[in-house]
């Protein structure tokens, strides 16, 4: 007797906890608020407390669900693929290719800081 095939629409259970995602979102908004306050020189009375809470809480919540890897090699390969390669692409694009294209086609020149 054959087992019936499962349909691809079957929802797998999610192990995400919505209140953790909400708390991380609030922490991200607090960091954005901090940067806006610094840019516009506006300060709130609660800034001293928020300074002590926002980033440590975000790191705690992000590290709360730690994924184990098969070893350092698999960990390094995954991080290179997901972090280092995109970083190098965008770094080279914005710092090398974009200024060359802007200078050539738009006539915009960028200062190198050595002036």
- In the chain, where are the structural domains located? 16-66, 67-115
Handedness of CA 44, 50, 54, 55 (dihedral sign): positive
Q: How far apart are CA 53 and CA 30, in angstroms?
A: 10
Q: For 85-110, what is the mean pLDDT?
A: 87
Q: For 17-36, what is the mean pLDDT?
A: 88
**Which has more confidence, 26 or 1?**
26
Q: For 7-20, what is the mean pLDDT?
A: 68
Q: Above 80 in pLDDT, residue 94?
A: yes
pTM (2 d.p.): 0.50
**Which has more confidence, 12 or 57?**
57
Q: Above 60 in pLDDT, residue 104?
A: yes
């Amino acid at each position: 007797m054959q087992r019936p095939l499962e349909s691809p629409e079957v929802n797998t259970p999610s192990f995400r906890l919505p209140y953790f995602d909400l708390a991380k979102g609030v922490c991200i908004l607090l960091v954005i608020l901090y940067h806006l306050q610094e840019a516009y020189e506006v300060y709130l009375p609660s800034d001293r407390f928020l300074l002590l809470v926002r980033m440590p809480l975000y790191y705690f919540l992000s590290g709360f669900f730690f994924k184990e890897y098969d070893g350092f090699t698999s960990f390094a390969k995954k991080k290179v693929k997901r972090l280092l390669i995109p970083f190098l692409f965008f770094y080279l694009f914005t710092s090398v290719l974009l200024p060359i294209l802007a200078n050539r086609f738009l006539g915009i020149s960028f200062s190198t800081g050595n002036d």
